[in-house]
Chains A and B, each alone.
Chain A
Amino acid sequence: MALAHVASSTSRSNLLRPISAFVFPNLRRQLSTDDTRTLTIETSVPFTSHKCESPSRSVETTPSELLSFFRDMATMRRMEIAADSLYKAKLIRGFCHLYDGQEAVAVGMEAAITKKDSIITAYRDHCTFLGRGGTLLEVFSELMGRIDGCSKGKGGSMHFYKKDSGFYGGHGIVGAQIPLGCGLAFAQKYKKDGTVTFALYGDGAANQGQLFEALNISALWDLPAILVCENNHYGMGTAEWRAAKSPSYYKRGDYVPGLKVDGMDALAVKQACKFAKEHALKNGPIILEMDTYRYHGHSMSDPGSTYRTRDEISGVRQERDPIERIRKLILSHDLATEKELKDTEKEVRKLVDDAIAQAKESPMPEPHELFSNVYAKGYGVEAFGADRKEVRAVLP
């Protein structure tokens, strides 16, 4: 429990780090109390397991953890909404996949693990990056292709990384990050450092062959790999049942144990990830299926309404929203007032706005950045340009 608390408070203070100087210090102190009383909360949906015991439905948490969940998820939500506006204002171009609705997965997972554990995900990576301790400035700068972005503006929406806290991206090809994740787990076993890797993928990628190849190898070698299927029920515009003969993704590992988790409940996610980490270190890979939902379309070009009904979306928003769930918990346990939570939301809104303003000031990458980081160090020739115009040899 102490571990989880440390992890969550670290991630919260990281979120605040960039502009913490001018953010209502009083309010912050008031809300992020060091209240570490243990609260036990029952998850509303039971876990369903495949070839393993289910973890207990009673999740232990603390008031400060709940408040940090609320704050982190509110920041993520606000960040994604802001990214949507920036995209419409044409400041963000290209691909942009938003995570709103799925925040509980990122936040709950972080609460159960440490920064020494590794996370690798696909292209819907903004919030996972933030959860790992990335800053809003890095997010918006990267989205706008500025030099202060986490990948110097060279990666874009799909390529967020944070090496120092074990975030391995940020990958654009559906499913191709899963073997990488199992490779990370292999390295962890090789180095015997007692950590695990969470390899995230969607229900669309769950039908990729390389998932099963990598799973087989991971199981053969007992790698500490946790495959997390973020099932938001649509692979782009194809409903899960139209793409998968068996949409019970937690069972599809066959010989690999699996657990179906309510991915809209941060506490359930935390409980499952804690369980999975212990399992993976002892017994090798496990699959977690997070039943979640994305409010936005697949990407910015998808209005998200041609393959599902508006009622479906608003139904999920009303009944299962991860932020509202935590809000209700906080209020029912009297950990904060409604006004205080509203203030928190205003506060993160300002944080996001400030980060955007700062990111807009960040310069575009210099021309020489075109050729940096192609190879790990400079060579006699700079790089192969597409038209070979950059290949120049200097003769004595």
Chain B
Amino acid sequence: MATIVGAATALSASKSFDSRKLRLPSRRSLPVSERKGSFLVVRSDGSEVHKVHRAQKLIANAVATKADSSAASTASKPGHELLLFEALREGLEEEMDRDPTVCVMGEDVGHYGGSYKVTKGLATKYGDLRVLDTPIAENSFTGMGIGAAMTGLRPIVEGMNMGFLLLAFNQISNNCGMLHYTSGGQFKIPIVIRGPGGVGRQLGAEHSQRLESYFQSIPGIQMVACSTPYNAKGLMKAAIRSENPVILFEHVLLYNLKERIPDEEYVCSLEEAEMVRPGEHVTILTYSRMRYHVMQAAKTLVNKGYDPEVIDIRSLKPFDLHTIGNSVKKTHRVLIVEECMRTGGIGASLTAAITENFNDYLDAPIICLSSQDVPTPYAGTLEEWTVVQPAQIVTAVEQLCQ
């Protein structure tokens, strides 16, 4: 009870927000709708089979929302169908074929094939010099990746889990982000740092972190979050080709999303937001896994007569203020839905950027739905309450459009 009230208070902190309205749906209707929705059922026994099973449910769901969206749908085009982790792998492999300076390093990326199979089979194909199994020493192998990048190699450093990259924070911040600047432009650091983050299925506090808020203020770093197999591959390729250090955020729960992607080569822009669903009434900005919570809520909202515009901001740093701004100009209302922490998160930065740039276009204060400021709990129900749920999104939109 206390948690729910707390959640409501946190939500209302943004602006006049009726906590009772929020509390009721989140208590009563959420568990039901989520069991149906399938990817929020968090009572896990942890077995592999079950994971795959749930993942398949998740796929169905994601593809359904994908088909729902009128923009960027590739389902009808010819191409090939694959899972998100396979898309990442495909992007990686294409770039390694194209450019001999591309190499991969990380824990168990080689012979084991990567803990989420993103680098599966690459060691056999490219050998141990290009696909490097490192000891469990994030600080050093990230530093070595940066050193190698200074000479012009394009290493892709995999953090087995985003949380582990905190051990390499010094390297990422002090060396990766700043070297181009402190050397007066002499050195470029074309490195990609990637790994899974986000709240998974009862993974506990350390392995459920959303580190984008930690990394966002490092100058010189670019950050992108992938959310579909299509953009995962496109962003991976773009990140490898970028002359700047790029952190690519993946989500543990999205690796098994299935989508049909084009056979021909394509690259996504690192600085472009993705229009997921054009609409008129309210701009919903989101990224990574929350995109699917938003699309679930969007269904309900459409049934209720709302026409929300959903944008996957994708580029977490710098923000695509062009796309975002045009949307704000059209709808005059903004809801931000993120999995990041409430304090100092991406949503907070986005709120600041929108207020500063487009305040004149806003008809209502921005509402930002974020995760609660707590270490992610293990218990399924508590974990569920930590992240934003579709019902809360519906309530927030109703509130905004009053």
Question: Chain A: residues with CB nearer than 8 A to chain B?
Answer: 118, 120, 149-156, 159, 161-163, 168-173, 176, 178-191, 209-210, 213-214, 216-217, 220-221, 372-377, 379-381, 383-384, 388-389, 391-395
Report how far A381 CA is from B270 CA in the complex, Å: 13
Contact for B357 among A173, A184, A392, CB less than 8 A: A392
The interface residues of chain B lying within 8 Å CB-to-CB of A394 are 322
The interface residues of chain A lying within 8 Å CB-to-CB of B190 are 376
B105 shortest CB reach to chain A, Å: 9
12 residue pairs of the A-B complex, CB under 8 angstroms, read A151-B186, A180-B144, A185-B147, A190-B103, A213-B135, A374-B219, A379-B271, A384-B217, A391-B353, A392-B357, A393-B321, A393-B322
Report how far A384 CA is from B219 CA in the complex, Å: 7
The interface residues of chain B lying within 8 Å CB-to-CB of A156 are 182
The interface residues of chain B lying within 8 Å CB-to-CB of A381 are 318-319, 321
The interface residues of chain A lying within 8 Å CB-to-CB of B319 are 381, 391
Across the interface, name the chain A residue whose C-beta is closest to B180.
A373
Question: Chain B: residues with CB nearer than 8 A to chain A?
Answer: 103, 129, 132, 134-135, 137, 139-153, 170-171, 174-175, 179-188, 190, 217, 219-220, 222, 242-244, 271, 317-322, 324-326, 329, 349, 352-353, 356-357
Report how far A147 CA is from B170 CA in the complex, Å: 28
The interface residues of chain A lying within 8 Å CB-to-CB of B175 are 171, 173, 176, 180
The interface residues of chain B lying within 8 Å CB-to-CB of A209 are 139
B140 and A214 contacting across the interface, CB-CB below 8 Å: yes
B193 shortest CB reach to chain A, Å: 13
Known pairs A151-B184, A186-B148, A190-B153; A375 contacts B140 (CB<8 A) = no
Known pairs A151-B186, A373-B185, A376-B180; A183 contacts B146 (CB<8 A) = yes
The 3 closest A-B pairs by CB, nearest first: A183-B147, A179-B143, A393-B321
Across the interface, name the chain A residue whose C-beta is closest to B186.
A163
A373 and B217 contacting across the interface, CB-CB below 8 Å: no
A395 and B271 contacting across the interface, CB-CB below 8 Å: no
Contact for B220 among A187, A214, A374, CB less than 8 A: A374
The interface residues of chain B lying within 8 Å CB-to-CB of A173 are 170, 174-175
Contact for B135 among A169, A217, A372, CB less than 8 A: A217
A187 and B184 contacting across the interface, CB-CB below 8 Å: no
Other than A169-B182, A216-B140, A380-B320, give 19 A-B pairs with Cβ distance below 8 A. A151-B186, A161-B182, A161-B183, A173-B175, A179-B146, A180-B150, A180-B175, A181-B147, A183-B150, A186-B144, A189-B129, A213-B141, A373-B181, A376-B242, A379-B271, A388-B356, A391-B319, A391-B353, A393-B322
Report how far A170 CA is from B183 CA in the complex, Å: 9
A183 and B353 contacting across the interface, CB-CB below 8 Å: no
A180 and B143 contacting across the interface, CB-CB below 8 Å: yes
A312 shortest CB reach to chain B, Å: 33
Across the interface, name the chain B residue whose C-beta is closest to A221.
B132
Report how far A153 CA is from B352 CA in the complex, Å: 31
Most buried by B among A171, A179, A183: A183
